[in-house]
């Protein structure tokens, strides 16, 4: 049987953003950490890293945060940036503050523009991050688009052609699918993630995107019950559906 890896408690908690190792020792001395309901005083103790550890440990009376790897599904609001360091409001501001200090770091899986809303994944899982954004995987991303001007009727063929060129680029766009909802609303599915791609595709047809909302990523859909600005953790099965 494979040996379960162990880790020092102070190292683990510090990597989860609860404070420096000194802080952790101080919290433990004050009786703020419990393991299986008993106060934990020796933070140098090694414990097995098992997925159910958060059920056995509390800090200041609260269950331990989820261990890495974690995958977060967020309904990104308009006006927040997918950056770790931009001056304004960041999508990370919606998560618990200490999660900013976690190691491995939580990052967004690809990016949505500041003015785009909808399905955004965040993770500390490097493999997921790599695979979900790799052009080779061609993960389909579907956006609901509201336009300033009526569609002409020729956009669908152009987007599907595999020959559409965007300004200042030398490689044509991969074929994309357009589903017209009304004269000024459509669903667009793309498999690439070029800079401002959807906005630039419509701009190239003489239109202007006034609202952009991502509804799905691969087989994962944004659930109706996740309001703007809300997030929740995904199970392994749910995160795997990105690749379906």
Give the residue, chosen from 11, 105, 140, 196, that forms a contact with ligand URA under the rule CB under 6 A.
196
Distance between CA atoms of residues 70 and 51, nearest Å: 11
Residue 7 or 177: which CB sits closer to ligand URA?
177
Count of Cβ atoms closer than 10 Å to residue 133 Cβ: 15
Q: Does 197 bind ligand URA (CB under 6 A)?
A: yes
Distance between CA atoms of residues 222 and 207, nearest Å: 26
Catalytic residue among 36, 52, 65, 113: 113
Give the residue, chosen from 116, 207, 216, 239, that forms a contact with ligand URA under the rule CB under 6 A.
116
Residue 70 or 188: which CB sits closer to ligand URA?
188
Among candidate residues 154, 151, 160, 134, the one with its CA nearest the CA of residue 218? 134
Collapsed DSSP state (helix, strand, coil) of residue 149: coil
Give the residue, chosen from 199, 220, 234, 239, that forms a contact with ligand URA under the rule CB under 6 A.
199
Window 201-230: residues binding ligand URA (CB under 6 A): 212
Residue 23 or 179: which CB sits closer to ligand URA?
179
Residue 84 or 208: which CB sits closer to ligand URA?
208
Q: Does 198 bind ligand URA (CB under 6 A)?
A: yes
Q: Does 142 bind ligand URA (CB under 6 A)?
A: no
Which residues are bridge partners to 212 per DSSP?
Answer: 116, 145
Distance between CA atoms of residues 76 and 120, nearest Å: 6
Contact yes or no for 134/191 (Cβ under 8 A):
no
Element (H, E) at 161: none
Q: Does 109 bind ligand URA (CB under 6 A)?
A: no
Active site residue 113: yes
Contact yes or no for 147/202 (Cβ under 8 A):
yes
Q: Which residues bind ligand URA (CB under 6 A)?
A: 112-113, 116, 196-199, 212
Residues acting as catalytic residues: 113
């Amino acid at each position: 049987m494979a040996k379960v890896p162990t880790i020092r408690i102070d190292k683990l908690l510090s990597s989860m953003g609860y404070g420096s190792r000194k802080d952790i020792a101080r919290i433990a001395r004050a009786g703020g950490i419990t393991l299986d309901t008993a106060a934990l005083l020796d933070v140098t103790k090694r414990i097995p890293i098992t997925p159910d550890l958060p059920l056995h440990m509390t800090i200041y009376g609260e269950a331990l945060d989820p261990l890495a790897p974690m995958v977060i599904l967020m309904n990104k609001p308009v006006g927040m940036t997918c950056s770790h360091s931009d001056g304004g409001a960041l999508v990370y501001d919606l998560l618990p503050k200490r999660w900013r200090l976690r190691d491995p770091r939580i990052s967004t899986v690809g990016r949505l523009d500041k003015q785009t809303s909808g399905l955004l994944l965040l993770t500390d899982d490097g493999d997921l991050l790599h695979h979900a954004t790799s052009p080779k995987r061609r993960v389909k991303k579907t956006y609901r688009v509201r336009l300033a001007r009526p569609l002409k009727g020729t956009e669908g063929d152009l987007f599907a052609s595999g020959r559409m060129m965007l300004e200042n680029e030398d490689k044509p766009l991969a074929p994309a699918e357009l589903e017209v909802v009304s004269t000024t609303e459509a669903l667009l599915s793309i498999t690439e993630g070029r800079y401002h791609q959807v906005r630039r595709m419509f701009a190239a047809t003489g239109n202007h995107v006034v609202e952009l909302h991502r509804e799905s990523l691969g087989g994962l859909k944004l659930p109706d019950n996740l309001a703007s600005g809300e997030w929740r953790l995904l199970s392994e099965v749910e995160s795997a559906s990105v690749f379906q």
